[in-house]
Amino acid sequence: MELYTRFRGIMIKVRFVLVFCILSLISSCVDPFEIETENFENILVINATITNELKTQEVLLTRTFKFEDDGPQSETGATVRIIDDANFEYTFEESDSGVYRSTQEFAATSGRTYRMSIQTADGRSYISDVVTLPQETSIDNVYPQRVSNDDGVEGLGIFVDTFDPTGNSQYYRYEFEETYRIVAPLWYQFDLVVTDRTEDFFVFGVEDRSEDGTVCFKTEVSNNINIANTTFLEEDRITGLQVNFMPANDIRIADRYSILVRQYVQSRDANGFYEILSSFSESESLFSQIQPGFITGNIVSETNPDEKVLGFFDVSSVSEQRIFVNRNDFLADLPVFELDCELVVPEQGLDDLITFHQRVEGFINSSAVSYFPNAPIQIDQPINVFSFIPRVCGDCRVIGKVSVPDFWVD
């Protein structure tokens, strides 16, 4: 229910700005600009959500980074523990840089309380508030529906219904993992290779491609904050919450699509944390802007109470549901994702033969195109048909993987 985030200040969408811009003959009211980090503060960022699924639980430790940098530095060499109210300690080990996995599989259980403790390599220690597992509520229904978005673009929306008869869940967060099938329309079995080279010319031949690149699968993980609460509703029920939207001509819904929606029932505090995070990052208001500030989570430094710590330790109950959608069941009449598969034909022109061949070799080595003869070729003869297509048209492996995911159902 994104509407609840609408309560937070006045959300005047950028589009409205444009209305005004047109009224006042103004060309651009909202301009992007380059940010440079000033007064950079290096802060520990903790992302720890323990669930009621029996699995190797995961805690991520990173640090804040400058805008000029590519990404976060991992916080390595820390000791991470989760202690329950029976004083049982779950220990974590760093598996990848900054990624700490529990040494044993465990699931958070209701009635228990948990807190997390972290000692970083530089000797600082951090402790979280005590948290409990909220109500376990399973997703009622995940379903696709043809809708238009705010900009009037038609496409496919993915919606969720859920209901907690006990009325205790109230705060929900959604993540998803989407997988789509891609078919390369112009798959060609052979790659062009240089079989021999002389001073004056190269000899070209073809070679079997190692695997079939006609059909691939691509999996992506959601990266937006999608939260909802039912505190203003008569019952603890969510109906028709849109968790994802794809325009009709999006590659994801060009053929067959699957989405695994994960529903986290979370605490009120965790909801508050995510809500602030999301409202600061989607502040679209022109005339008034939410006063941003440091987002306090539920973890503090024991070494120095004034030290800022970002992030949240949450125990959450998870329910998930996967669905499959065929494009033609919903969007058959709408324009589909289309690749630009124009043939690229290198020509000799006035070049020496060797120069031309070197150019052809350049095409072979390029990751942007793949071989696609525009005339019949003799497989075991030297090849003199040189033509290419954008690689994505002839080989879906540039987008995804050919291996069919375990969950995939055709």
Partner 1 sequence: MRKYFTLFFFLFVFKSWAQKEEPLISLSFTNSDVISVLEKIEEKTDYRFYFVDSWLKDQDNVSGEYKDSTITKVLEKLFENTVITFYFTEDKRIILAPNTIIYDELPQGFFGAFEKDTLIVETRKKTKIVSPIFTSINQSSKKDKIETITIGKAVRDNSKQEFKFYGYLKNVQTGKPLVNAIVIVNGNNVGAESNDQGYFETELAAGASIVEINAFGMEPFKKRVVIYNDGRYDVSLREKIEFLDEVVLSTEANSNVEEVVTKTKIDVKESKNIPLALGERDVLKVATTLPGITTAGEGAAGYNVRGGKSDQNLILLDDAVIYYPQHFFGIFSALNPFALGDVNIYKNNIPAQYGGRLSSVFDLTTKDGGLDGFKGEASIGPVTGNVLIEAPIVKDKAGVMLGGRGAYANWVLRSLDEESLNDSEASFYDVIAKYNHQISKKTKIEASAYLSRDDFSITSDSLYIYNNRAFSLRLNHRFNEKNKAKLALSNSQYKFNIEFDGQSNDDFELGYDINETELKLQLDYFYNSKLKFDYGIASKLYTVNPGNIDPIGEESNIQALSLEKERGLESAAFLTAKIDLTKKLTLDAGIRYSIYNFLGEGTQNIYQEGVPRSEETLLETLSFDKNEVIETYGGPEYRIAGRYLLGTDFSLKASYNKTFQFIHTLSNNTTISPIDTWKLSDLNIEPQSSQQYALGAYKNFEGGTYELSVEGFYKESKNIVDFKTGAEILLNENIETEVLQGNGKSYGVEFLLKKKKGKLYGWLGYTYSRSFIQLDSDFREERVNGGEFFPSNFDKPHDFSLVANYRFTKRFSLATNFVYQTGRPVTFPVGSFTFNGSDFTVFSDRNKFRIPDFYRLDLGFNIEGNHKKNKVGHSFWTISIYNVLGRNNPFSVFFVTEEGEVKALQTSIFSVPVPSITYNFKF
Of residues 249-308, which lie at the interface with partner 1 (CB under 8 A)? 272, 275-277, 279-296, 305-306, 308
Q: Of residues 385-404, which lie at the interface with partner 1 (CB under 8 A)?
A: none
Under the binding rule (CB under 8 A), the answer on residue 219 touching partner 1 is no
**How many angstroms separate the CA atoms of 282 and 177, rounded?**
22
Q: Can you tell me which of 95, 224, 366, 403 binds partner 1, judged by CB under 8 A? A: 224
The number of residues making up the chain comes to 410
- DSSP summary character for residue 381: S
Measured torsion, CA atoms of residues 275, 281, 282, 287, in degrees rounded to the nearest 10: 110
Question: Is the Cβ of residue 77 or residue 240 nearer to partner 1 in the bound state?
Answer: 240
**How many angstroms separate the CA atoms of 395 and 410, rounded?**
21
Over the window 358 to 377, marking each residue x when it contacts partner 1 by CB under 8 A and - when it does not, the resulting string is: --------------------
Question: Is the Cβ of residue 284 or residue 351 nearer to partner 1 in the bound state?
Answer: 284
Smallest gap from residue 160 Cβ to partner 1 (A):
10
**How many angstroms separate the CA atoms of 111 and 184, rounded?**
52
| 263-to-208, 316, 322 alpha-carbon distances in Å | 45, 9, 11
Under the binding rule (CB under 8 A), the answer on residue 239 touching partner 1 is yes
Question: Is the Cβ of residue 87 or residue 291 nearer to partner 1 in the bound state?
Answer: 291
Under the binding rule (CB under 8 A), the answer on residue 406 touching partner 1 is no
Contacts of 306 (CB under 8 A, 6+ apart): none
Question: Is the Cβ of residue 231 or residue 328 nearer to partner 1 in the bound state?
Answer: 231
Of 208-216, 236-244, 248-256, 371-379: span binding partner 1 (CB under 8 A): 236-244
The amino acid at 116: M
Question: Is the Cβ of residue 30 or residue 404 nearer to partner 1 in the bound state?
Answer: 30
Q: Of residues 141-200, which lie at the interface with partner 1 (CB under 8 A)?
A: 147, 150-152, 175
φ, ψ for residue 325 (rounded to 5)? -135, 130
Smallest gap from residue 195 Cβ to partner 1 (A):
44
The structure tokens 């240089």 sit at 194
**How many angstroms separate the CA atoms of 334 and 346, rounded?**
35
Which one, of 78, 87, 84, lies nearest residue 60 by Cα? Answer: 78
Token output for 177: 């993992």
Smallest gap from residue 103 Cβ to partner 1 (A):
24
First CA to last CA distance, the chain: 32
Smallest gap from residue 189 Cβ to partner 1 (A):
36
Of 43-51, 188-196, 318-326, 342-350: span binding partner 1 (CB under 8 A): 43-51
Token output for 126: 């951090």
Is 115:127 a contact under the CB 8 Å cutoff? yes
Q: Can you tell me which of 223, 304, 365, 367 binds partner 1, judged by CB under 8 A? A: 223
Q: Of residues 72-101, which lie at the interface with partner 1 (CB under 8 A)?
A: 72
Which one, of 99, 221, 237, 102, lies nearest residue 168 by Cα? Answer: 237
Question: Is the Cβ of residue 124 or residue 197 nearer to partner 1 in the bound state?
Answer: 124
φ, ψ for residue 262 (rounded to 5)? -110, 125
Q: Can you tell me which of 196, 235, 302, 352 binds partner 1, judged by CB under 8 A? A: 235
Q: Of residues 44-73, which lie at the interface with partner 1 (CB under 8 A)?
A: 45, 47, 62-67, 71-72
Of 20-28, 315-323, 382-390, 394-402: span binding partner 1 (CB under 8 A): 20-28
Question: Is the Cβ of residue 269 or residue 361 nearer to partner 1 in the bound state?
Answer: 269
Which burial class, exposed, middle or buried, applies to 194 when counting CB atoms under 10 A from its CB (0-12, 13-18, 19+)?
A: middle
Question: Is the Cβ of residue 157 or residue 213 nearer to partner 1 in the bound state?
Answer: 157
Q: Can you tell me which of 27, 87, 210, 304 binds partner 1, judged by CB under 8 A? A: 27
Q: How are beta strands 44-51 and 309-326 bridged, if at all? A: parallel
Question: Is the Cβ of residue 3 or residue 350 nearer to partner 1 in the bound state?
Answer: 3
Under the binding rule (CB under 8 A), the answer on residue 132 touching partner 1 is no
Applying CB under 8 A, the site for partner 1 has a residue count of 93
Under the binding rule (CB under 8 A), the answer on residue 20 touching partner 1 is yes
Which burial class, exposed, middle or buried, applies to 320 when counting CB atoms under 10 A from its CB (0-12, 13-18, 19+)?
A: middle
